[in-house]
Every structure is written in C-alpha cells, then in structure tokens.
Amino acid sequence: MSLPVQISVPARDAPRIRLDPFDHLWFQVTGTLCNLACTHCFISCSPSNRSLGFLDYEYVIRTLHDSREFAVKEYYFTGGEPFMHPRLLDMLEQTLAIGLATVMTNGTLFRDSTIQRLARMRDASIYSLEMRVSIDGPDAATNDPIRGQGTFARAMAGVKKLVDAGFLPIITMAQTWDHAESESVYRKMRQALLELGYLRPRVKMLPSIRLGAEVARSRGYRDDERVTPQMLQGYDTSNLICSNSRIVSDRGVHVCPILIEQPDSILGQTLKEAASRDYPLRHQACYTCWLHGAICTNASTAAQGREVAVSAASARTQTQDLSL
Amino acid sequence: MLYSRVAIFGGVYSNHLALRAAIEDARRRGVQKLFCLGDLGAFGPNPDRVFPLLIDAGVVTMQGNYDNSIGNDLPDCQCGYTDPADNYYARLSYQYTYHKTSPRWRAWLKSLPSQIRFELKSDLAGIRSELPNPQPWRVLCCHGSPRKINEFLRESTTPTHLLEKFCDDFDADVIVATHTGLPWMRRLSRGRLFVNCGVLGRPANDGSPLVGYTILDADDPNLATYVPLAYDHESLAAEMRAEQLPEPFVQTILTGWWTTCLEILPARERARGKW
C-alpha cells in the first residue's frame, strides 16, 4: 500500500481544471500488479499489490467504443505491467482499428510470439503503435538498485527484441540523479542503445513523482511544493494532464494516472461523467505536473527540454556523421 | 467565394525558389485561385524574399504559428518542439528568421487571418450522388487544426472519428491543413474529406528533394490531388550555406531526408524517414 498523500488545500480553495479537449484515454489494464517492485514506483506496484485489479476485456472494448463520442485522440495502456494481462494483445488490436495505441512496459516479459504479433498488428494499422519501455539508467549500476537485480539486462534484451522487429521504442528514464548529471546520463543512454543496435534511439527523461514507494526511497513533497491559484496566472493549463486526459481502472474513471490511488481522483463511473467534471489541483503531486508538464503522454514538454540542451543535438549529429 | 479549381500551398519555410516554382506550376494547371496556409518562414534563407511573391501572385495567405510568433515578437515558434534535440535547431532557425524578417513584413504577418473559408463547386451540371442535394463543398482551411493553430494532425495519430467531429463542429465538407510537413488525405463519411496539403518548404522525409502542394478540383472524382514539385534545390542549398544556416538543414534540402525536428514524430512517420 502506498503512503497517504498530504492534501495541501481544501478542494474549494484549489484552482480547478476543466477537461478540454479529451485527447488521451488511459487504461490501467493490470491495476497495480507488476512482476517488478521498483523502489520509486508512485503507486507501489509489485507482484503482490492487488489494490487495483485487472480490467475486463469486454469493458475495455465498450469503453473504446464510447470514447469515439469524445473524439479521443490517443490511447494509453499502463499498469502495473500491461503484458501480464492475458488479453492485452487483443485490446491493442481493437484499439489500433480506431486510433494510436501506446503501451508503457518494463520490457522484461517479451516472448518472441508476443513481439511477432505486435509487429503484425503494427503493420496492419494506419495508426502508430508506440512501445514505451522504462529503464531508469544507462547501466545496471544506476537502474538495478531501483528496478531490481538483473532488470537492466532483461529490459535491454526486451528493447533489442523490439528493435529487431522494426519498432522504435521510446525509452523513458525516471530521474534519480542530480540535475547536473542529466546531460551525461542522456548521452550514456543513447550510447548504450546504439551499441544494442538501436540506431535511432528515442529517449525521454521523466522527473520523480514523490508518491508511493518513492517517498521511502528519497522523499515526499515539501510543504511549499503545491499549486496555488497565483501559479496558474499566465500559465498554459494545457500543460496539465487533467486538462486533456482521463484514466479507467476497475474502480471507475479517474482524473489522471498519477493520482489513481487517491480516493478523490475518481470523477465518475462513465467517461461522460468523468469528462464533465473538472478537477481541483489540491494534491502535491499536481506540483510535479505543473512544473514539468504532462510527463505521462508521449510528447516531451518544455521543462524536460531544459534538462539537457545542446549535447543531445550534437549527440545525434555525431551519429549522423558516422553513418553518412 | 466560389471556385471550381484551386491550388493550396502549405508551409513555405522561406523557400522562395519552391514558392516561385509552385506559383508557375499551379498557373500552368489552370487554377482559379492560389491559397497559402501559413508558416512562411523558418528553416530556409532570406525570409523577406517570400512575401513579394505571394503579394504579386495574389495568393490568399493565412497565418501559421510561425507567422503568429514572428508577427507578435514572441520568443519562439510555438511548434511545441521541446525535446532538446529538436529544440536546439528550432531555436537557431527562429532567431535567424526573426532577425532577417523586416519590420514591415512582421506587421503584415501579424495582420493575416487565422482561417480561410470558401466554397468549391463544379461548373458542370453534374450532381454528386453521395450528397442529398447538389451543393457547393464547404472548404475550411486551417493551419494545424480547426481548433488550434499548432495542433499536429498526422496520419498515424489522427483518428477518423476526430476528423468527422471537426467536419460536424466546424460546418465543413473539406478540411485542409498543413503544419506537419507531411502530406496525406483521408476520405470521411458522406463524401467529406480531410487533406494535409503538404509543404513547399522542405521535402516530405522520403529521400526525394521534391516538395509539393495540393489541387482541389470540383470536377475531379477524387476532389483533391497532391502535386509533387521540382525546383532548383541545389541553388537553395547554396543560398542556405551562404547564410550559414546549419548543415543538417542543407542536407535535408539536398537529400530529401529530415535531419532535425524528428523527436516529435510518432513511430510510423519516424520509421519512414532515414534518421
């Protein structure tokens, strides 16, 4: 169970965010069940955490159908570890018939038959199938203390299987190092992926979300880390995930993937209910979103861009020079 | 306004040589009107060379996010490139374009409309059987999407149900956009159509130095045709080098492969390119 989050302001005092447009629909397909137990997981997923359960296949398909009324643009599949769901591939196939699908995975459970089927459905659809693999460092020394012994090697092997099958996976690294090291970490990860044979590595760095197991690993939010109405003046609220997303779990439809364990995060039992209700930014985790933008979705945000500047561009230019 | 055959140009990106070639090509093909959907600067050399061409040819020109930024003295192009690799080159390009666009043209960019509407109708007496009545096609031209100037509508990330909703909500039978740099089309219900008209500014990440534009023709059963366009790309590359623009930009003009602004691409579009 994750630690309770300090609710810093009463709902009536918190700035409220409306969902407009409803661009991203998330499915928490395996709840909080995962084959790993990462020490920074903001919802403390593990092989024994069943606080959120699996989603029923028929329910996912009905929800996909319902989502069309809202002109949802992108579909995300997360957990826990989505590949632990026996019908994930069927869900992805149905999704790719109507829109882009992204799967967030730890990359450690890829059977050859799974990769082959993913490749077939990717080739059969006009929409993109994005694979996002979480690897929290460019080597075992950085990654394994967080994700578990041997997980770096297993995840990189998973990435190699994807790359060999023609995928361009997005590798996401949750930052557990000092800001000053970010450029170096980014460059090292690109290098590690190049050595794997991934010649066009796509890498995203994510900030720490100070919830769940992460609180014990490093720290929770400080008292001053919260969103005030003043902080929204002149701020582009389309940066906030609650302005464009909702997530479905086996308990209902929540405001965002980060707050999914918070009782007040459920905005309704249907997409329509949850889409029509706005959300007060009362949780301290909202501060991470405010600061960094909607880190959960695929596109990078301005604040992430500040983490590494010139070196990333020059890193790719060097790669191009070698290949030309 | 009512037309039967028009040409629609996408982002020019300061490629005045491609623009000149496109105007000549479209006139040879007998269009009644020329439209340009914005992003007149960025990437290429000597932005001021573009504007007189548009004015003299009577091109109905719309404001893109780039023009909105330059015209309003904003600090960046509003493309949403924030991955560090994309952003590095985007910033270079914007600084160059901003400082090389003279104040009189910046004022003109600021004044451009954000959308264009017109109607397309055949001169022939034919009736399109899909429609309940013979009627003109209501065409809506926008830069990114009907709801947002810098929204990327790419083929692999834009569900058909979203395009249908745009047609319903914005009272259009044909929606034309640019912004992404990659041309594509999708047929919708009731004979409606979405078109990304492509861009003149740089190639479509396909290994060919050709650029392109789109013709809408009410007498064509397909309604829209993408027209690949050759122009003197070697001269443009030489001009870019003379202006000391980044070599990766020049390589794109010469080889037809994007070398920058790649991180923002989704998987399908990224996979089709070389880098």
- The residue-averaged pLDDT of A228-251 equals 92
Q: Which of A111-115, A310-314, B158-162 comes out lowest in average pLDDT?
A: A310-314
The pLDDT of residue B106: 97
Q: What's A18-323's CATH class? A: alpha beta
Report d(CA A146, CA A251) in Å as an integer.
Answer: 29
SS3 of residue A204 by DSSP: strand
A275 min Cα distance to partner chain B (Å):
16
Note whether B62 and B141 are within 8 A (CB). yes
A168 min Cα distance to partner chain B (Å):
6
Residue keyed to tokens 């089309």:
B185
The partner residues of A17 in beta bridges, in order of sequence, read A279
SS3 of residue A314 by DSSP: helix
B85: nearest CB among A98, A130, A313: A313
A305: nearest CB among B84, B158, B269: B84
Chain B residue nearest residue A97, CA to CA:
B159
3-class SS string, A69-99: HHCCCEEEEECCCHHHCCCHHHHHHHHHCCC
Q: Residue B80: its chain A contacts at CB < 8 A?
A: 299
Report d(CA B66, CA B68) in Å as an integer.
Answer: 5
Mutate which: A66, A95, A300, vs B, most B CBs within 10 A:
A300
Chain A residue nearest residue B166, CA to CA:
A71
Report CB contact under 8 Å: B155, A126.
Answer: yes
The pLDDT of residue A313: 44
Q: Residue B266: its chain A contacts at CB < 8 A?
A: 100, 128, 130, 298
Residue spans per domain, chain A: 18-323
Q: What's B2-272's CATH class? A: alpha beta
Report d(CA B235, CA B233) in Å as an integer.
Answer: 5
pLDDT band at B128 (very low <50, low <70, confident <90, very high): low
User: How many residue pairs from chains A and B have C-beta atoms closer than 8 A?
Assistant: 90
Cβ-based burial of A86 (10 A; exposed 0-12, middle 13-18, buried ≥19): exposed
Q: Which residues contact A295 (CB under 8 A, 6 or more apart)?
A: A206, A207, A288, A289, A301, A304
A9 min Cα distance to partner chain B (Å):
32
pLDDT band at A296 (very low <50, low <70, confident <90, very high): confident
Report d(CA A257, CA B199) in Å as an integer.
Answer: 37
A301: nearest CB among B82, B85, B271: B82
Report d(CA A12, CA B197) in Å as an integer.
Answer: 47
Residue spans per domain, chain B: 2-272
The pLDDT of residue A19: 96
Report d(CA B168, CA B138) in Å as an integer.
Answer: 12
The pLDDT of residue A207: 80
The tokens describing A57, both together, are: 């296949």
Element housing A28 (H / E): strand A24-28
SS3 of residue B128 by DSSP: coil
Q: Residue B159: its chain A contacts at CB < 8 A?
A: 68, 71-73, 98-100, 127
A127: nearest CB among B156, B248, B259: B156
A319 min Cα distance to partner chain B (Å):
10
Report d(CA A209, CA A43) in Å as an integer.
Answer: 10
CA-nearest of B233, B163, B185, B228 to B13 is B233
Residues of A with CB under 8 A from a CB of B: 21, 68, 71-74, 98-100, 122, 126-130, 166-168, 186, 200, 202, 204, 298-302, 304-305, 307-313, 315-317, 320
Report d(CA B65, CA B72) in Å as an integer.
Answer: 10
Report CB contact under 8 Å: B267, A300.
Answer: no
The pLDDT of residue B39: 97
The pLDDT of residue A304: 47
Alpha helices (H) along A203-280: 213-217, 271-276
Note whether A292 and B65 are within 8 A (CB). no
* pLDDT reading at B209 higher than 60: yes
- The residue-averaged pLDDT of A179-201 equals 93
Report CB contact under 8 Å: A300, B83.
Answer: yes
Indicate the pTM of the whole model: 0.92
Residue bearing the bigger pLDDT, A171 or A39: A171
Report CB contact under 8 Å: A312, B80.
Answer: no
B266: nearest CB among A128, A167, A186: A128
CA-nearest of A287, A238, A215 to A23 is A238
CA-nearest of B1, B78, B6 to B38 is B78
B247 min Cα distance to partner chain A (Å):
10
How far, in whole angstroms, is CA B158 from its chain's centroid? 17
Half-sphere exposure of B141 (CA within 13 A, CB side): 29
> What is the four-CA torsion angle of A103, A105, A109, A113, rounded to 10 degrees?
20
Report d(CA A315, CA B104) in Å as an integer.
Answer: 39
Q: Which of A52-61, B37-46, B119-128 comes out lowest in average pLDDT?
A: B119-128
Chain B residue nearest residue A127, CA to CA:
B156
- The residue-averaged pLDDT of B160-180 equals 97
Cβ-based burial of A269 (10 A; exposed 0-12, middle 13-18, buried ≥19): exposed
pLDDT digits (tens, 9 = 90+) for A131-156: 999 999 999 999 999 999 999 999 99
